[in-house]
Structure 1
Protein backbone atom coordinates (compact mmCIF):
# COMPACT_ATOMS: atom_id res chain seq x y z
CA UNK A 1 0.00 0.00 0.00
CA UNK A 2 1.42 3.36 -1.08
CA UNK A 3 0.92 6.08 1.54
CA UNK A 4 2.42 8.92 -0.51
CA UNK A 5 0.30 12.05 -0.78
CA UNK A 6 -0.93 12.70 -4.31
CA UNK A 7 -1.42 16.41 -4.75
CA UNK A 8 -4.41 17.52 -6.72
CA UNK A 9 -7.90 16.14 -7.06
CA UNK A 10 -8.71 12.52 -7.84
CA UNK A 11 -11.81 10.37 -7.96
CA UNK A 12 -12.44 6.63 -7.91
CA UNK A 13 -13.38 4.62 -10.94
CA UNK A 14 -14.70 1.09 -10.64
CA UNK A 15 -16.38 -1.00 -13.30
CA UNK A 16 -19.77 -2.56 -12.69
CA UNK A 17 -21.69 -3.16 -9.49
CA UNK A 18 -19.90 -3.63 -6.17
CA UNK A 19 -20.63 -3.98 -2.47
CA UNK A 20 -19.54 -1.79 0.45
CA UNK A 21 -19.44 -3.78 3.67
CA UNK A 22 -18.90 -2.15 7.06
CA UNK A 23 -18.05 -4.45 9.93
CA UNK A 24 -17.03 -3.48 13.40
CA UNK A 25 -16.39 -4.47 16.97
CA UNK A 26 -17.06 -2.41 20.08
CA UNK A 27 -15.33 -3.29 23.32
CA UNK A 28 -18.06 -2.65 25.88
CA UNK A 29 -16.18 -3.94 28.92
CA UNK A 30 -12.48 -3.14 28.61
CA UNK A 31 -11.48 -5.23 31.62
CA UNK A 32 -12.85 -8.41 30.03
CA UNK A 33 -9.93 -8.87 27.66
CA UNK A 34 -10.52 -12.64 27.59
CA UNK A 35 -13.89 -11.92 25.92
CA UNK A 36 -12.81 -9.40 23.29
CA UNK A 37 -9.24 -10.41 22.36
CA UNK A 38 -10.40 -13.36 20.20
CA UNK A 39 -12.90 -11.39 18.10
CA UNK A 40 -10.46 -8.46 17.98
CA UNK A 41 -7.68 -10.62 16.50
CA UNK A 42 -10.01 -12.52 14.14
CA UNK A 43 -10.45 -9.64 11.68
CA UNK A 44 -6.76 -9.24 10.75
CA UNK A 45 -6.63 -13.00 10.04
CA UNK A 46 -9.70 -12.73 7.79
CA UNK A 47 -8.29 -9.72 5.93
CA UNK A 48 -4.95 -11.49 5.42
CA UNK A 49 -6.77 -14.53 3.98
CA UNK A 50 -8.81 -12.32 1.65
CA UNK A 51 -5.75 -10.38 0.46
CA UNK A 52 -3.95 -13.65 -0.27
CA UNK A 53 -6.95 -14.87 -2.29
CA UNK A 54 -8.35 -12.00 -4.38
CA UNK A 55 -10.51 -14.53 -6.25
CA UNK A 56 -12.75 -14.61 -3.15
CA UNK A 57 -13.97 -11.15 -4.18
CA UNK A 58 -12.73 -8.58 -1.69
CA UNK A 59 -11.37 -5.59 -3.62
CA UNK A 60 -9.94 -3.67 -0.68
CA UNK A 61 -10.33 -2.81 2.99
CA UNK A 62 -9.53 -0.02 5.41
CA UNK A 63 -9.50 -0.14 9.23
CA UNK A 64 -10.61 2.85 11.34
CA UNK A 65 -10.78 3.32 15.09
CA UNK A 66 -12.90 5.61 17.19
CA UNK A 67 -13.17 5.30 20.95
CA UNK A 68 -13.96 1.69 21.80
CA UNK A 69 -15.01 0.81 18.25
CA UNK A 70 -12.93 -0.57 15.40
CA UNK A 71 -14.57 -0.47 11.96
CA UNK A 72 -13.42 -2.11 8.76
CA UNK A 73 -14.73 -0.74 5.47
CA UNK A 74 -14.54 -3.44 2.84
CA UNK A 75 -15.20 -3.28 -0.91
CA UNK A 76 -16.42 -6.46 -2.58
CA UNK A 77 -17.02 -7.36 -6.19
CA UNK A 78 -20.40 -8.93 -5.32
CA UNK A 79 -22.75 -9.77 -2.47
CA UNK A 80 -22.63 -13.43 -3.53
CA UNK A 81 -18.85 -13.52 -2.95
CA UNK A 82 -19.17 -11.77 0.42
CA UNK A 83 -21.86 -14.23 1.50
CA UNK A 84 -19.87 -17.22 0.24
CA UNK A 85 -16.87 -16.14 2.32
CA UNK A 86 -19.02 -15.59 5.41
CA UNK A 87 -20.70 -19.02 5.17
CA UNK A 88 -17.76 -21.18 4.07
CA UNK A 89 -16.59 -23.37 6.99
CA UNK A 90 -13.12 -23.53 5.38
CA UNK A 91 -12.71 -19.74 5.51
CA UNK A 92 -11.88 -17.98 8.79
CA UNK A 93 -15.16 -16.06 9.26
CA UNK A 94 -17.60 -18.85 10.14
CA UNK A 95 -15.40 -20.49 12.83
CA UNK A 96 -14.71 -17.03 14.32
CA UNK A 97 -18.42 -16.16 14.33
CA UNK A 98 -19.30 -19.45 16.04
CA UNK A 99 -16.56 -18.87 18.64
CA UNK A 100 -17.86 -15.34 19.28
CA UNK A 101 -21.39 -16.61 19.87
CA UNK A 102 -20.14 -19.31 22.22
CA UNK A 103 -17.76 -17.08 24.20
CA UNK A 104 -19.63 -13.75 24.18
CA UNK A 105 -23.18 -14.43 23.03
CA UNK A 106 -25.64 -11.92 24.47
CA UNK A 107 -23.46 -11.03 27.50
CA UNK A 108 -22.98 -7.44 26.35
CA UNK A 109 -19.22 -7.62 26.94
CA UNK A 110 -18.40 -7.13 23.26
CA UNK A 111 -20.55 -5.78 20.45
CA UNK A 112 -20.28 -6.47 16.74
CA UNK A 113 -22.13 -4.99 13.80
CA UNK A 114 -22.17 -4.95 10.04
CA UNK A 115 -23.89 -3.02 7.28
CA UNK A 116 -23.99 -4.08 3.65
CA UNK A 117 -24.63 -1.76 0.69
CA UNK A 118 -25.06 -2.89 -2.90
CA UNK A 119 -23.87 -0.15 -5.23
CA UNK A 120 -25.01 -0.16 -8.83
CA UNK A 121 -22.66 0.77 -11.65
CA UNK A 122 -22.24 4.54 -11.83
CA UNK A 123 -24.18 5.09 -8.58
CA UNK A 124 -21.29 6.43 -6.53
CA UNK A 125 -18.99 9.41 -6.44
CA UNK A 126 -15.86 10.30 -4.53
CA UNK A 127 -13.21 12.96 -4.21
CA UNK A 128 -9.70 12.73 -2.83
CA UNK A 129 -7.81 16.03 -2.56
CA UNK A 130 -4.17 15.85 -1.53
CA UNK A 131 -4.61 12.33 -0.20
CA UNK A 132 -2.89 9.00 -0.68
CA UNK A 133 -4.77 6.47 -2.79
CA UNK A 134 -7.33 4.97 -0.40
CA UNK A 135 -10.87 3.69 -0.05
CA UNK A 136 -12.76 3.06 -3.26
CA UNK A 137 -9.91 4.55 -5.30
CA UNK A 138 -7.64 1.84 -3.92
CA UNK A 139 -10.24 -0.90 -4.47
CA UNK A 140 -10.83 0.33 -8.01
CA UNK A 141 -8.73 2.88 -9.88
CA UNK A 142 -7.70 6.39 -8.88
CA UNK A 143 -8.18 8.88 -11.73
CA UNK A 144 -7.52 12.59 -12.05
CA UNK A 145 -10.58 14.81 -11.79
CA UNK A 146 -11.15 16.52 -15.13
CA UNK A 147 -13.64 18.95 -16.62
CA UNK A 148 -16.26 16.21 -16.99
CA UNK A 149 -15.82 15.06 -13.36
CA UNK A 150 -15.28 18.37 -11.59
CA UNK A 151 -18.42 18.31 -9.40
CA UNK A 152 -20.08 15.66 -7.24
CA UNK A 153 -23.15 15.75 -9.51
CA UNK A 154 -21.03 15.20 -12.59
CA UNK A 155 -19.18 12.29 -10.96
CA UNK A 156 -22.32 10.55 -9.75
CA UNK A 157 -24.16 10.90 -13.04
CA UNK A 158 -21.18 9.96 -15.21
CA UNK A 159 -21.61 6.63 -16.95
Structure 2
Protein backbone atom coordinates (compact mmCIF):
# COMPACT_ATOMS: atom_id res chain seq x y z
CA UNK A 1 0.00 0.00 0.00
CA UNK A 2 1.29 3.47 -0.93
CA UNK A 3 -0.30 6.54 0.58
CA UNK A 4 0.58 10.22 0.07
CA UNK A 5 0.27 12.16 3.34
CA UNK A 6 -0.08 15.93 3.32
CA UNK A 7 -0.68 16.53 7.04
CA UNK A 8 2.51 17.17 9.01
CA UNK A 9 3.42 14.77 11.83
CA UNK A 10 4.56 16.78 14.84
CA UNK A 11 4.38 14.36 17.74
CA UNK A 12 1.44 16.26 19.23
CA UNK A 13 -1.18 14.14 17.44
CA UNK A 14 -3.79 12.17 19.38
CA UNK A 15 -2.12 8.76 19.03
CA UNK A 16 -5.39 6.97 19.90
CA UNK A 17 -6.99 8.40 16.76
CA UNK A 18 -4.20 7.34 14.42
CA UNK A 19 -3.56 4.05 12.63
CA UNK A 20 -0.82 2.15 14.52
CA UNK A 21 1.94 2.90 11.97
CA UNK A 22 1.25 6.66 12.04
CA UNK A 23 1.05 6.54 15.84
CA UNK A 24 4.57 5.03 15.87
CA UNK A 25 5.83 7.81 13.60
CA UNK A 26 4.15 10.45 15.77
CA UNK A 27 5.69 8.89 18.88
CA UNK A 28 9.14 9.36 17.37
CA UNK A 29 8.53 13.10 16.92
CA UNK A 30 7.03 13.37 20.42
CA UNK A 31 10.22 11.80 21.80
CA UNK A 32 12.52 13.99 19.68
CA UNK A 33 10.77 17.29 20.32
CA UNK A 34 10.17 16.44 23.98
CA UNK A 35 13.77 15.28 24.58
CA UNK A 36 12.38 12.08 26.04
CA UNK A 37 15.01 9.34 25.89
CA UNK A 38 12.75 6.70 27.44
CA UNK A 39 10.07 7.31 24.81
CA UNK A 40 12.76 7.35 22.10
CA UNK A 41 14.08 4.00 23.31
CA UNK A 42 10.58 2.51 23.18
CA UNK A 43 10.24 3.74 19.57
CA UNK A 44 13.47 2.14 18.31
CA UNK A 45 14.11 -1.58 17.92
CA UNK A 46 16.45 -2.54 20.74
CA UNK A 47 18.76 -4.52 18.52
CA UNK A 48 21.99 -4.43 16.56
CA UNK A 49 19.75 -4.48 13.47
CA UNK A 50 18.88 -0.81 14.03
CA UNK A 51 20.81 1.72 11.94
CA UNK A 52 20.83 5.49 11.61
CA UNK A 53 22.60 7.72 9.09
CA UNK A 54 22.12 11.43 9.66
CA UNK A 55 23.98 14.76 9.46
CA UNK A 56 24.85 14.74 13.18
CA UNK A 57 26.07 11.29 14.01
CA UNK A 58 27.12 9.79 10.71
CA UNK A 59 26.33 6.08 10.49
CA UNK A 60 25.38 4.48 13.80
CA UNK A 61 24.65 0.78 14.09
CA UNK A 62 22.71 -0.79 16.92
CA UNK A 63 20.54 0.92 19.49
CA UNK A 64 23.41 1.70 21.87
CA UNK A 65 25.25 3.80 19.25
CA UNK A 66 22.02 5.48 18.14
CA UNK A 67 21.06 6.23 21.73
CA UNK A 68 24.35 8.05 22.30
CA UNK A 69 23.47 10.61 19.59
CA UNK A 70 20.08 11.30 21.18
CA UNK A 71 21.58 11.50 24.67
CA UNK A 72 24.00 14.21 23.58
CA UNK A 73 21.36 16.10 21.58
CA UNK A 74 18.85 16.00 24.43
CA UNK A 75 21.48 17.19 26.93
CA UNK A 76 22.54 20.14 24.75
CA UNK A 77 21.35 23.67 25.61
CA UNK A 78 19.97 24.16 22.08
CA UNK A 79 16.31 24.70 21.36
CA UNK A 80 14.70 22.92 18.43
CA UNK A 81 11.55 21.47 16.92
CA UNK A 82 11.01 19.24 13.92
CA UNK A 83 8.03 17.94 11.99
CA UNK A 84 7.65 15.48 9.12
CA UNK A 85 5.62 16.47 6.05
CA UNK A 86 5.12 15.92 2.30
CA UNK A 87 5.67 12.19 2.66
CA UNK A 88 4.61 8.88 1.25
CA UNK A 89 3.88 5.97 3.50
CA UNK A 90 4.65 2.48 2.16
CA UNK A 91 3.14 -0.43 4.07
CA UNK A 92 3.98 -4.05 3.27
CA UNK A 93 3.21 -6.69 5.86
CA UNK A 94 5.52 -6.35 8.86
CA UNK A 95 7.41 -3.36 7.45
CA UNK A 96 6.48 0.20 6.69
CA UNK A 97 8.59 3.11 5.64
CA UNK A 98 8.03 6.80 5.13
CA UNK A 99 9.87 8.97 2.63
CA UNK A 100 9.50 12.72 2.94
CA UNK A 101 10.82 15.93 4.42
CA UNK A 102 11.50 17.32 7.84
CA UNK A 103 11.31 21.00 8.59
CA UNK A 104 11.91 22.80 11.80
CA UNK A 105 14.07 25.24 13.65
CA UNK A 106 17.31 24.88 15.56
CA UNK A 107 18.52 27.60 17.94
CA UNK A 108 21.71 28.07 19.89
CA UNK A 109 23.25 31.22 21.27
CA UNK A 110 23.66 33.52 18.28
CA UNK A 111 22.33 31.01 15.72
CA UNK A 112 18.83 30.34 14.40
CA UNK A 113 18.55 27.84 11.54
CA UNK A 114 15.48 26.99 9.47
CA UNK A 115 15.92 23.28 8.91
CA UNK A 116 15.14 21.34 5.71
CA UNK A 117 16.02 17.64 5.75
CA UNK A 118 15.17 14.79 3.35
CA UNK A 119 14.18 11.90 5.59
CA UNK A 120 13.41 8.19 5.37
CA UNK A 121 12.33 6.12 8.36
CA UNK A 122 11.73 2.36 8.36
CA UNK A 123 9.69 0.53 10.99
CA UNK A 124 9.24 -3.18 11.61
CA UNK A 125 6.38 -4.86 13.44
CA UNK A 126 7.84 -6.87 16.32
CA UNK A 127 6.38 -8.04 19.61
CA UNK A 128 2.99 -6.62 18.70
CA UNK A 129 4.11 -3.06 17.96
CA UNK A 130 5.83 -0.92 15.34
CA UNK A 131 9.48 -0.14 16.10
CA UNK A 132 11.87 2.02 14.13
CA UNK A 133 14.75 0.08 12.64
CA UNK A 134 16.31 2.65 10.31
CA UNK A 135 16.57 6.39 9.78
CA UNK A 136 18.35 8.29 7.03
CA UNK A 137 18.41 12.07 6.87
CA UNK A 138 20.19 14.36 4.42
CA UNK A 139 20.51 18.12 4.19
CA UNK A 140 20.72 19.21 0.54
CA UNK A 141 21.97 22.75 1.15
CA UNK A 142 25.74 22.52 1.86
CA UNK A 143 25.75 25.88 3.68
CA UNK A 144 22.87 24.82 5.95
CA UNK A 145 24.58 21.48 6.60
CA UNK A 146 27.86 23.18 7.58
CA UNK A 147 26.08 25.72 9.80
CA UNK A 148 23.97 22.99 11.46
CA UNK A 149 26.97 20.78 12.14
CA UNK A 150 28.96 23.73 13.51
CA UNK A 151 26.09 24.73 15.80
CA UNK A 152 25.40 21.21 17.05
CA UNK A 153 28.80 19.55 17.19
CA UNK A 154 30.07 21.28 20.35
CA UNK A 155 27.12 19.78 22.19
CA UNK A 156 27.30 16.27 20.75
CA UNK A 157 30.98 15.64 19.99
CA UNK A 158 32.12 14.77 23.46
Identify which of structures 1 and 2 has the higher relative contact order when contacts are C-alpha pairs closer than 8 Å and 6+ apart.
1
TM band (smaller chain): under 0.3
Question: Considering only CA atoms, is the larger Rg found in Structure 1 or Structure 2?
Answer: 1
Query: Which protein is richer in strand relative to its size?
Result: 2
What TM-score, normalized by structure 1, do the two folds share?
Answer: 0.25
TM-score by length of 2: 0.25
